[in-house]
Amino acid sequence: MKKISIMLSALMLAVGTPSVALAQSADFTLDTATPDLSENEPRPVFPVPSARQLKWNQTEFYAFFHYGMNTYTGQEWGDGSEDESTFAPTAVPNPRQWLEAIKAGGMKGGIAVVKHHDGFCLWPTKTTDHNVTKSSNTNAQQTNIPRDFAKAAQDLGLKYGFYISPWDRNSAYWGKKDENGNYTDDYAKKVFFAQCAEMTQYGADQFEMWFDGATGAYGYYGGTNQTRNIDNATRYYDIPNLRDSIHNACPNIILWGTGGEARWIGNEQGWAGETCWSMGDGTSGNENAWKWFPGESDAKATTKGWFWHEGESCKTAEQMFKIYLETVGRNATLILNFPPNQAGLLPDADVTNLKELGEMLTTRLGTDLAQQSGVQIEASTTRANGKTKTYDAKNMIDGNIDTYWAAPDGTTSGITITVTLPEAKAIRYVALQEYIQLGQRIKGFTIETSTDGTNWTKKGGSIQTTTVGYKRIIPLNGNTGSSYDAGTTAKYVRVSITGSRACPTLHTLSIF
Ligand code: FUL
């Protein structure tokens, strides 16, 4: 595909725009490819995801592991003054056990915290002495979380990535200013970039790097014990440059938070808006925003914090399933946190509840009735075939995410898609997935069921059936909290599209 980079430099110089914008100029490309008209494909509705954003979205449900100095101090935010020997695991931490547990929980990957705000590094880094090798504890001296985590993930066929806190309350360099009151680039160059580079060496196949947005407070800062802040994280960490360097080393990494390739969903309770665009900000996004910025929901599976704390308990499988429906089922990804304990292991209770969650996901959402033999599907309108491609309704039930149904240009409402099962069954969920390579389009739909094909009942209670996006799961009883009841008996399911930004596309329609 032919692409022309628009070098904004000349333009920017003319209007005197600051250097940060210049550094980002390579990001702006115009797609000048001539569409292959012989395939009659719908034109994209911008913005659209990058290839790496699309792959990232397909990860859907993954774990967060907060482990480190705080595990041994009972804190959530250490101030950076902690002695290295305070990090004293009672056994060599075992990331493989963490990952086996979350795999059983139905997750496709995980992100390990390797440095939190206290600056203590869980690997033998060259960038600071504040790391595992300086602890007097022999288990600590053998700890290398990124190495062991990456290896275990690769062995188990899981995606993986790391959380490296940009804010570092231990480092003397963080937030330091020169004699003229300007921030120095010592921290970015000597510490943070180097730490990110060290991380990339643990595997080129990482899927996400997590940079939280904290911009400073009181800290140890090399023994100065003072309050420091930064004014602009993007500039301070030279994010455009850092992002390019990381992408060069690990092409599939999505920079979360500071770095801007996926957004915070706006709360830590594990829910996205019922309306949720992959553009814009917050719980619902914004239909008119210019940038593809899909939502990630970060939530805790335990009761006391991100890190392990004495006496905490783990959410039940049923509670986690509700969170799943309200995030993955609403066009967001879900990163659910499980904190390893002082032995560097996930506690038994967490492992048990994860196993139950995995079984629940398989029972409830594991067998797509629309993909069983004898199912028929019809759309009231379908785009004309291309030379080799079709846009048939059947593409929604063929189990192939690369084929899709599409409406003709200009048809954006009044469309019905009807699925006929071989016989009436108890059903509880309908899931839809747009072909988001061409942009997120649908903005209104309804779901009805019928036993005779004549009398229809609207389903989903008062749930707002607005956006679809990467994935939308509607519990037919309208209740995400107790979605798995006796179900509704239906032979026919009808999805009506009532509004769309352009002709709608769907690659999958599932019934569970
Ligand atoms: C936040 C941090 O301040 C918390 O400690 C935690 O790591 C959370 C996931 O991100 O920004």
Beta strand 332-337 with 61-65 is: parallel
Using most ligand atoms within 8 A of CB, pick from 162, 168, 212 the residue to mutate for ligand 1: 212
Using most ligand atoms within 8 A of CB, pick from 71, 76, 267, 306 the residue to mutate for ligand 1: 306
Q: Residue 36's pLDDT is what? A: 72
Q: How far apart are CA 146 and CA 65, in angstroms?
A: 12
Tokens standing for 416?
A: 């019905």
Measured in degrees and rounded to the nearest 5, phi and psi for residue 431 equal -120, 140
Q: Residues 227-274: pLDDT tens digits?
A: 999 999 999 999 999 999 999 999 999 999 877 899 999 999 999 999
For atom 6 of ligand 1, which residue has the closest CA? 306
Comparing CA positions, the residue from 268, 309, 365 lying closest to residue 75 is 309
Q: Tell me what percent of the residues of the chain surpass a pLDDT of 90.
A: 92
Atom in ligand 1 nearest the alpha carbon of residue 213 = 11
CB under 6 Å to ligand 1: residues? Answer: 76, 212, 214, 298, 306
The pLDDT mean for the chain works out to 94
Number of H-type helices and E-type strands within the chain = 13, 22
Mean pLDDT of 308-318: 98
Q: Tell me what percent of the residues of the chain surpass a pLDDT of 70.
A: 93
Q: Residues 59-115: pLDDT tens digits?
A: 999 999 999 999 999 999 999 999 999 999 999 999 999 999 999 999 999 999 999
In sequence order, the 6+-apart residues with CB closer than 8 A to the CB of 397 are: 368, 370, 371, 375, 377, 419, 508, 509
pLDDT higher for 8 or 188?
188
pLDDT confidence of 30, banded at 50, 70, 90? low
132, exposed or middle or buried, with CB in 10 Å at 0-12, 13-18, 19+?
buried
Q: Residue 33's pLDDT is what? A: 60
Q: How far apart are CA 96 and CA 89, in angstroms?
A: 16
Comparing CA positions, the residue from 376, 362, 363, 338 lying closest to residue 426 is 363
Measured in degrees and rounded to the nearest 5, phi and psi for residue 323 equal -60, -40
In sequence order, the 6+-apart residues with CB closer than 8 A to the CB of 34 are: none
Q: How far apart are CA 273 and CA 502, in angstroms?
A: 22
Q: How far apart are CA 52 and CA 251, in angstroms?
A: 7
Q: Residue 464's pLDDT is what? A: 98
User: How far is Cα of residue 357 from the mean position of the Cα atoms in its chain?
Assistant: 19
For atom 1 of ligand 1, which residue has the closest CA? 212
Q: Residues 334-388: pLDDT tens digits?
A: 999 999 999 999 999 999 999 999 999 999 999 999 999 999 999 999 999 999 9
Q: How many CB atoms lie within 10 A of CB 239?
A: 23
Compute the distance from residue 298 Cα to the ligand 1 centre, in Å.
Answer: 9
Q: Report in angstroms the alpha-carbon separations of 100 from 108, 327, 340, 416.
A: 11, 23, 13, 43
